[in-house]
A and B are shown apart, each in its own frame.
Chain A
């Protein structure tokens, strides 16, 4: 149910995004989702890849500081209220979202995949499951993405 996401520390200056992407490209690793949280001084690059262990060691060998965070991937209908149905459940059960972002490329035209980091991941998964919203298991996700 939980997806392993890699987070990298990057300085906010020209060129810093290039280096980790080059390192992953050279190792033949495809990025399935990414987002960049930035401040004036630095940024945190968050990545989802299929083989996160390999990607982590590739990035660390390239000198980057990498942490692994557990996140949740949810499939929502690609239509108005697709997201708010999920947010309603989370609000009602008082789950805090630390951040979220959308997956690059849809599975199909009918649905979109969103990645959430929750303050309490287990409680959030349970609250969603109780309302019939099931987090996508990594294997299924990668399978359906043909990753």
Chain B
């Protein structure tokens, strides 16, 4: 179990006092046979709906010579084709919708860093399910009515803001819909309103704490932080928890499936409980597509079991994790997935070596003790890929002596070479010179094809 600096006794006490059970959370505790029965009935319905209303899905089943009737058990799901992100792009904007527009009450879209955005749709029932899974998520973190929730996820086309908003309201908490950005105002309101719960990306929380420290403001009223929308590490959790009084919870979700609220940590912080009564998980080998058993690491594939407007069948998330059926001390029976440390598409290949940003993070942390702001820059010089890491100098490591800074630079380079296995050039840069994220952190700049 991973609970830094907190004994399990403290956790149990907090858990007991946190309102362990919320009526909305009852599916979290279904006996597995009943859960699987529910999953199968919903799966059949979901597949039939996609087959009847989504041309591309029907075509793919026809190509394989199968119909929804061939799915006679949960295991038969492996007969179905995968859906990938490009399917959403190719069918832009409405090609995967299974409901007529008069039943669709909400659209969200991804920011679309490459090419066209992807569009996702919700019926009123879809929104109700979304709200329900967010209520269950907050409840698992010990959030309850009476809490003041500062929702610093971006409001708008991004699913984070509105998703967390309706869930927190439905729970009976008081929501501050502050959205992302305007850091100084976030800090002022958190202090002045006595905020007890904050929701945002983990990298933005690190930024908030850093800025609050500069302003000499303590945000001690915050008890719970619910962080998601980007992969993060135990090191970032430790950093947040040791610089505040909050417990940091990982929430997982993606707009293709519903938005945040697909899975959540409980107070035992030993993986994320996946709301598998609505989202059926599989783990596959990302290369072969073969389904892997529980416990094996691979790519998470999700099938929506109740989504009306846009059923997703075997959607490849690109997130690397593993599943466990082992019972959790919190009593929930729904399976847990290990926290996402990396995405299969976050990985970059440099001189034939696979590198994940989380490895870079671990190497920097090993030297400095805390995680500095950094950015990975890939360049190409004379046909050879170069790995550069920009690292902001912090007050903790800044020295008036040139030799001390050169020593720091050398130790960072050695640590990177040791962890990643190839030489990386470290550039020490001025504080605040790397752009701060108010949404997802931009950790990787690939300039290899620019010249």
Contacts and interface: CB of A to CB of B under 8 A. Distances in A.
A44 B400 CA distance: 7
B402 interface: yes
B234 interface: no
Nearest to B409: A41
The number of chain A residues touching the other chain, given as a range, is 10 to 19
Interface stretch (B80-88, B341-349, B423-431): B423-431
A119 to B, nearest CB: 10
B226 interface: no
B406 A39 contact: yes
Nearest to A9: B393
B400 A65 contact: no
B405 A65 contact: no
A42 interface: yes
B427 A46 contact: no
Given A9-B393, A41-B409, A63 B432 contact: yes
A42 B428 contact: yes
**DSSP majority for the A interface?**
strand
Nearest to B430: A11
Interface in B389-415: 393-395, 398-402, 405-406, 409
Contacts of B393: 9, 42, 65
A90 B8 CA distance: 59
Contacts of A46: 400
A65 B409 CA distance: 17
Interface in A1-30: 7, 9-11, 16
A37 B402 contact: yes
A11 B433 contact: yes
Given A42-B405, A44-B405, A63 B400 contact: no
Chain B, interface residues (CB within 8 Å), range: 10 to 19
A39 B410 CA distance: 13
A85 to B, nearest CB: 27
A9 B398 contact: yes
A9 B406 contact: no
Contacts of A64: 430-431
Contacts of A7: 400
A123 interface: no
A65 B402 contact: no
A53 interface: no
A117 interface: yes
Contacts of B394: 65
Nearest to B214: A60
20 contacts: A9-B393, A9-B405, A9-B428, A9-B430, A10-B430, A11-B427, A11-B429, A11-B433, A41-B409, A41-B427, A42-B393, A44-B400, A44-B405, A63-B430, A63-B431, A64-B431, A65-B395, A65-B398, A65-B431, A67-B400
* Interchain residue pairs A-B with the least CB separation, the first 10: A7-B400, A69-B400, A65-B431, A63-B432, A9-B393, A65-B398, A37-B402, A42-B428, A11-B430, A9-B398
Given A42-B405, A44-B400, A69-B400, 20 more contacts: A7-B400, A9-B405, A9-B428, A9-B431, A11-B428, A11-B430, A16-B430, A39-B405, A41-B409, A41-B428, A42-B428, A44-B401, A63-B432, A64-B430, A65-B393, A65-B395, A65-B398, A65-B431, A67-B399, A67-B400
